[in-house]
Amino acid sequence: MSQTLNLTLKVWRQEGPDADGSFETYKAKNIPDDASFLEMLDVVNEDLIDNGRTPIEFPHDCREGICGTCGVMINGRAHGQEKGTATCQLHMRKFSDGDTIVIEPWRAAAFPVVKDLVVDRSPLDKIIEAGGYVTAPTGTAADANDTRIPKEAADSSMDAAACIGCGACVAACPNSAAQLFTSAKLWHLNSLPQGQPERYKRTEAMVETMEQFFGACTNHGECYEACPKEITLDFIGYMNRDYIKSKVKNRKLAGQQS
Amino acid sequence: MLPDSKVPAGPMAEKWTNHKFHSKLVNPANKRKFKIIVVGTGLAGSSAAATLGELGYEVEAFTFHDSPRRAHSIAAQGGINAAKNYRNDGDSVHRLFYDTVKGGDYRSREANVHRLAEVSTNIIDQMAAQGVPFAREYGGLLANRSFGGAQVSRTFYARGQTGQQLLLGAYQQMMGQVKAGKVKLHTNTEMLDLVVKDGEACGIVCRNLVTGEITSHSAHAVVLATGGYGNVFYLSTNAMACNVTAAWRAHRKGAYFANPSFTQIHPTCIPASDEFQSKLTLMSESLRNDGRIWVPRQLNETRAAKDIPEAERNYYLEEKYPAFGNLVPRDVASRNAKTVVDAGYGVGPLKNGVYLDFADAIARDGRDAIEARYGNLFQMYERITGEDPYTQPMRIYPATHYTMGGLWVDYNLMTTIPGLYATGESNFSDHGANRLGASALMQGLADGYFVLPNTIGDYLAPKLNQPLVDTDDDVFKESERLIEETTSHFLGIGGSKSPDHFHRELGKIVWNRIGMERDEEGLKSAIEEIQALSKEFWSDLKVLGDAKSLNSSLEKAGRIADFFELAELMARDALDRRESCGGHFRTESQTPEGEALRDDDNYAHVSAWEWNDKDTPQTKHAEELTFDEVPLTQRSYK
Ligand SMILES: Cc1cc2nc3c(=O)[nH]c(=O)nc-3n(C[C@H](O)[C@H](O)[C@H](O)COP(=O)(O)OP(=O)(O)OC[C@H]3O[C@@H](n4cnc5c(N)ncnc54)[C@H](O)[C@@H]3O)c2cc1C
Ligand code: FES
């Protein structure tokens, strides 16, 4: 049977993007250890509402680790200390009775706080908009099996495509860099036959858009540690290689070298 | 009166082709003169927005999410069907059509379903061209699996993240159109009203969830791709924010709501563990390909699963349905689980589940093979329950998963309001009374990529050079005023209970009375209970904070208000339909073996409900269904 926990929470509260924020302390009482971290926050919020205090805004939706909406700093770590786990999949059995938990929003200049624990991650969409797609208008496709893709290549592409766009990589990085996010999308598309025609144009556009919003990568590897999908650092290397190629003047040639 | 369903004449296999030929077209150079609003950017919405943009229309896309990639479609695990027959196992467009009509227990429109099966093959081509990393065989060709009881392997998948990969494909394609300037994207923007002028849809009114600003947007046509309403049950496998508001507000403006009581309870979800449970997690149906479902034969069994000998296990699906075994359709699997749990054979700490056991599969194929097939699902299960499914059986129980009901649409996907379309899960069209696994992704993308872009021109063409309705027009201003009024009302009630409290209580009524089994008495009391709780909601609700910044309690209040009205209609619809069909099981109407018993003489129709006013229940209109291709038979999975 499940146990219950009593916890102390120090939660970042901030009215809006321009307001000053501060930590407030709350008690989380009788939390079943089968509950998820977000269900624990639900309970705290119900309690706050009962006491006439505005509930904590926190990001969440699917609660299955796939939509990428959730994400807070838990005791200084993006998504908490359990590896390969989004905040919504973290369960209270990983905590002990009497723990104090510090909960903050993602901290990055590119992700301004919207309210409390919710931040604005729209720059990630900007990177996709810059070139994170294959131009293939509806109706133009040939039979799907006309293009064979070796299983290993498809699997490797899928490893990168598994990114959920939560932004933990940025939040964990001392420089607030978005290399892991960007390179994962690039490898997803650049490693497939379908992605070849626009490979270098895509790489150049996405990398340069990334640089407009985010910091530089200095190889700390914190992003990988924080990533709920354990996206590997290899993709960053592939991205850098393609980016240099994209700068080669003769794009036609670059396309053939790949 | 229900408008004509516009099902084209002619042989089934030629209807769609002929229909496209006979539809009016908008000349390519004129498309830019039309503005189309797409609400919702899940599979159905993103694919529609991208395609309409490519065609040349001016598109504005809206989502309440902070990014289109968050839509609930992202969570689909198992796969997407298509009649490619790559396995050479006897599949065809006709078979997919046949399976879908039969699986829906003969409550869908044949012509729509046939079209769905026809375009299914194009979807796979389109998504592969988008760079969706579908699973592949070693030779580099696409892999398939059999899914959800299908007798052929027609399901395409991308590990256990098919919805994610398809949504990313459609979202990225749409972002390409955003970059091209053809789609204007509004995130964090919730549609709160549909605006109608002279009987035609002319725009929407929205609230910006971050700033609270109320804005009006006009267009020549409005497309709703706003997903399903499973969260009326409170606990469901849907994402927390899924709701019925967009469809419901359109219903209140005149769009008929069809078959609201047709909801799907998915058999393989992780059972609730405590009262704080906020949602239920689906364990993909593909698990039933290898997992065996059982409960102990003995009441009050206390031994661990592995200590219960074979002879004392009841593999109830395999026993009762030898031909289909663990792969019976969802509704049948769910109801049987309920039966054994209600009889006291449930397993787990709360005795609220049945076992899904992989021991035989692991012994047969090896742990590695099982891990390759289901690794991420097993990991997800372990995270949630703290139990290791490689060494002890999973515990599963049915949960609300999908809603077949939705806005009534004709063959063109147009609702009863001219100029308003509904696509994806938000419409009622293709799944009848029960949806087959891996068919929702197919339908969302069929609607958005291939159907709507081909049918919307027929409505728009005659409107060439017609100006948009000004957003200063009274119709917009009046709608804005009402929204502001309701918002301040919620903030001003000053009651004692949170929106979640009401949602939870409403969910209990819906689950108990309008869930897996329904009967006249229960449905009648459901209506009374819902009305009583609704009264309390409007007088004792407590919403703190203000309307000028992010306020999720305020958002929820509006959505729950709509769920109350929907729940009541669900009960009325279920009460009215005195037969069992698919997911709608009226205990009064069953075969001697306890299976759903249809009444085709009286109920082979779609029930489309017309809104009257807040105090007058909806009026029912029936669209008679005819079955020319798939003969009506009693479903049997023995
Ligand atoms: C856990 C799970 C697993 C599933 N697995 C499968 C599977 O394997 N195969 C399969 O075929 N199907 C599966 N389904 C079903 C399938 O995922 C859905 O039916 C389908 O994705 C719905 O797509 P949609 O585009 O219609 O709606 P959604 O993806 O729900 O998108 C709705 C969109 O509308 C927006 N929206 C809604 N209301 C408003 C409003 N008022 N204002 C602004 N925007 C609004 C949302 O922001 C969102 O963008 C699964 C479902 C669940 C719950
Ligand atoms: S809420 Fe969707 S990933 Fe956590």
**Tokens 């030779």 sit at which residue?**
B139
Q: Which ligand is nearest to the CA of B222?
A: 1
**Subunit contact A144:B84, Cβ cutoff 8 A:** yes
User: Which are the contacts of A82, defined by CB distance < 8 A and separation ≥ 6?
Assistant: A90, A94
**Subunit contact B240:A60, Cβ cutoff 8 A:** yes
Same domain, A85 and A157: no
A39 lines ligand 2 (CB under 6 A): no
Query: What pLDDT, on the 0 to 100 scale, is given for residue B43?
Result: 98
| Residue-range domains of chain B with CATH | 265-401 (3.90.700.10), 477-603 (1.20.58.100)
B190 lines ligand 1 (CB under 6 A): yes
Query: What pLDDT, on the 0 to 100 scale, is given for residue A249?
Result: 58
Same domain, A129 and A109: no
Same domain, A234 and A186: yes
Alpha helices in chain A (DSSP H): 37-50, 122-131, 151-161, 168-172, 179-190, 199-213, 222-226, 234-246, 251-257
How confident is the model over A83-103, as pLDDT tens digits? 999 999 999 999 999 999 999
Please indicate if any CB of chain A lies within 8 Å of the CB of B126. yes
Same domain, A96 and A135: no
Same domain, A88 and A129: no
Same domain, A130 and A253: yes
Q: How far is B149 from A172, CA to CA, in rounded Å? A: 44
A79 lines ligand 2 (CB under 6 A): no
pLDDT above 70 (res A251): no
**Subunit contact B386:A34, Cβ cutoff 8 A:** yes
**Subunit contact A138:B171, Cβ cutoff 8 A:** no
Q: How far is B601 from B589, CA to CA, in rounded Å? A: 14
Last residue of a domain, one of A115, A145, A173: A115
**Over B396-427, what HEC string results?**
EEEEEEEECCEECCCCCCECCCCCEEECHHHE
Chain B: closest CA distance from residue A13 (Å) = 13
How confident is the model over B220-235, as pLDDT tens digits? 999 999 999 999 999 9
* Residues A192 and A149: beta-carbon distance below 8 Å: yes
Query: What pLDDT, on the 0 to 100 scale, is given for residue A248?
Result: 83
Please indicate if any CB of chain A lies within 8 Å of the CB of B388. no
Same domain, A67 and A152: no
Contact residues, chain B, for A35 at CB < 8 Å: 273-274, 276
H or E segment and range at residue B576: helix B552-576
Query: What pLDDT, on the 0 to 100 scale, is given for residue A256?
Result: 55
Residue B5 DSSP label: -
B63 lines ligand 1 (CB under 6 A): yes
Residue B618 DSSP label: P
Same domain, A128 and A246: yes
Domain extent for A87: 4-115
Contact residues, chain B, for A36 at CB < 8 Å: 278, 384
Burial (CB < 10 A; 0-12, 13-18, 19+), residue A152, is exposed
Q: How confident is the model at residue A53 (pLDDT cuts 50, 70, 90)?
A: very high
Same domain, A138 and A251: yes
Q: How far is A86 from A67, CA to CA, in rounded Å? A: 10
Query: What pLDDT, on the 0 to 100 scale, is given for residue A94?
Result: 94
Last residue of a domain, one of A94, A115, A136: A115
Query: What pLDDT, on the 0 to 100 scale, is given for residue A258?
Result: 46
Same domain, A159 and A50: no
Last residue of a domain, one of A80, A115, A150: A115
CATH number for position A59: 3.10.20.30
Burial (CB < 10 A; 0-12, 13-18, 19+), residue B33, is middle
Q: Which residue from B141, B165, B544 is facing A54, i.e. has the nearest CB?
A: B544
DSSP per-residue letters across B365-376: H-HHHHHHHHHH
Q: How far is A182 from A128, CA to CA, in rounded Å? A: 8
Residues of chain B with pLDDT under 50: none
Active site residue B297: no
CATH number for position A212: 1.10.1060.10
Q: What ipTM, to 2 d.p.? A: 0.97
CA dihedral in degrees (B402, B405, B408, B411; nearest 10)? 60
How confident is the model over B441-500, as pLDDT tens digits? 999 999 999 999 999 999 999 999 999 999 999 999 999 999 999 999 999 999 999 999
pLDDT above 90 (res A182): yes
Q: Report the domain count for chain A.
A: 2
Contact residues, chain A, for B134 at CB < 8 Å: 144, 154
Same domain, A199 and A94: no
Query: What pLDDT, on the 0 to 100 scale, is given for residue A25?
Result: 98
Query: What pLDDT, on the 0 to 100 scale, is given for residue B380?
Result: 87
Same domain, A141 and A105: no
